[in-house]
Structure 1
Amino acid sequence: MKKKLLGLAIVASSLSFAQDKTESTASALRFGLKAGLNLSSINADGFKGKAGIYGGIFANIPVGSSVSVQPEVLYNNAGAKVEDMSDVKLNLDYISVPIMIQYNIMPELYLEAGPQFSVAINKEVKTDAGSADVKDLFRNFDFGVGLGAGYYFTNNIGITARYTAGLIDISHNNPNEFIRSQVFQVGLACKF
């Protein structure tokens, strides 16, 4: 009987602590905007990196005193340049949904890691003379893993950096090459 009472007391205290913790962290839920510069490339022969932009919204959800989950919805202008032709660009535009687990080293500095799911909204080769659709050459979906860091100068404004490595073949009907994307992002974040 004493063991049962002790067990119930431990469970009750754990639940009340969890409820207090949930209430205090739920009130710290923050939403925000982020935008910046993409430096992207693909690992195919004859291509090099190109600059693009990204931007979107996020929610920062604390799950502990130093850990939070940050789902995002971003527009990503990725792709690559053709190596010997600086005016020829492969534009791969995505709607990306990264889900980052963030660990605060200090209140204003964090490290993050997590998966990123992306759906293509535009696939084209662009030159000075015009553009051509290459939707049959690339898949509509990309999946990668991101690693990054961020620093908030104030409670609301910070800088972010992230590298996302693609893990799946984004080429379509190309059995000779396993083409992956890679993107380095740097930008600003603003929490509300």
Structure 2
Amino acid sequence: MKKFLLASALTISTMSFAQIDFSNTRFGIIAGGNYSGVKNAHNPSGKRLTMQAGVLALIPIGSENQFFLQPEVVYFGAGETGKNKDSKGTDGYDAVYANNYLSVPINFKAYFSEAESEFFGLIGPRFNFLLSQKVKNAPLSRPYYNPDYVVADNPELTGKASSFNFGVGIGAGYSYKRQLEIAAKYDFGLSNTYPGLNHEPKGTSKSKSEQVISLTLSYIFK
């Protein structure tokens, strides 16, 4: 809860102290690839390659053509697999733990200058709402690994993904004429992706933090 309040405070303070010009908002589309993982969740643990796609708004802050608020609404794939390079041939290596979200990042965006084509930086909170959780090839030899991830008589083993999680992202990119933009971003989860999964790996009760590295291409309409 403290982490959620911190992320919310960051968003509110940005909007409170800045002169936001909603009348000159521009809209765009965004798509790209995600490379995700979850700390302390599964054993073996590897990365998942998936995608994101959605829409964005570019809202000016102040009179300079340099600072903006960029909220987005995107389909956002995350989760992990069992494909750890040191675990080939072991039970769970072919597992896929797919978490798919409706994601709402709210980025503070700063171009390095007012030039039409320029580099920029991004930072801000991300709020994820779970759309679906799909588990494939989980190691059924362990009772708490089952396709539905539910153990009715032993709830502390439940591997259901949380219906809501949040984190903070930071990134950088390049804009061509303030329309076509490419960006790389790292999102670090601040909440527990699997709040009921306390026995993997090897009995850990540490928070299961979801992390995503993404590369996106955006087109912003005039």
Q: TM-score, normalised by structure 2?
A: 0.69
C-alpha displacement of 1:104: 1.1
Which position in structure 1 is the counterpart of 2:72? Answer: 72
Q: Deviations over 1:152-181 (max 9, x none)?
A: 123321111111000011113234231000
Structure 1 unaligned blocks of 5 or more: 1-20
Specify which structure has the higher proportion of strand: 1
Q: 1:93 aligns with which of 70, 89, 100?
A: 100
* One-letter amino acid of the counterpart of residue 69, structure 2: V
Distance between the aligned counterparts of 1:42 and 1:183, measured in 2?
Answer: 9
For the 8 Å contact 1:123–1:134, the answer to whether it is kept is: no
In the TM superposition, residue 26 of structure 1 has moved relative to its aligned partner by 4.8
Give the match for residue 130 of structure 2.
120
Higher normalized contact order (CA 8 Å, seq sep 6+, divided by chain length): 2
In the comparison of the two structures, how many residue pairs are matched? 168
Once the two structures are superposed, the pairs formed by residues 31-180 of structure 1 within 5 Å of their partners are: 31-44=27-40, 45-64=43-62, 65=64, 66-82=66-82, 83=84, 84=87, 85-106=92-113, 107=115, 108-127=118-137, 132-134=147-149, 137=159, 138-175=161-198, 176-180=205-209
Q: Determine the C-alpha separation between the residues in 1 that align with 2:209 and 2:72.
A: 22
Q: Which runs of 4+ in 1 moved over 6 A?
A: none
Could you give the per-residue CA deviations for residues 74-116 of structure 1, whole angstroms, max 9, x where no partner exists?
1111111113355321100011100000111133221010000
In the alignment, which residue of structure 1 is the partner of 2:15?
Answer: none
**SS of structure 2 residue aligned to 1:147:** strand
> 1:32 and 1:68 mapped to 2: Cα distance?
14
Indicate how the Cα distance of structure 1 residues 150 and 28 shifts in structure 2: closer, same or farther if over 3 A, else same: farther
| Partners of 1:124 and 1:134 within 8 A in 2 | no
Which has the higher Rg, Structure 1 or Structure 2? Answer: 1
> Matches of residues 1-40 of structure 1 in structure 2 within 5 Å?
25-26=21-22, 28-40=24-36
SS at match of 1:87: coil
Distance in 2 separating the partners of 1:29 and 1:105: 20
Q: Distance in 1 between matches of 2:193 and 2:119?
A: 33
**1:185: which partner in 2?**
214
Deviations 1:131-153 (A, max 9, x none): 93337522111110000112112
In 1, distance between residues paired with 2:60 and 2:177? Answer: 18
Partner Cα separation in structure 2 for residue 133 and residue 171 of structure 1: 14
Cα distance in structure 1, aligned partners of 2:125 and 2:214: 15
Residue 67 of structure 1 deviates from its aligned partner by 1.2
Residue 27 of structure 1: how far off its partner (Å): 5.4
The separation in 2 between residues aligned to 1:114 and 1:52, in whole angstroms, is: 22
Task: After TM superposition, give the deviation of residue 118 of structure 1 in Å.
Answer: 0.4
Give unmatched runs, 5+ long, in structure 2.
1-18, 139-145, 151-157, 199-204
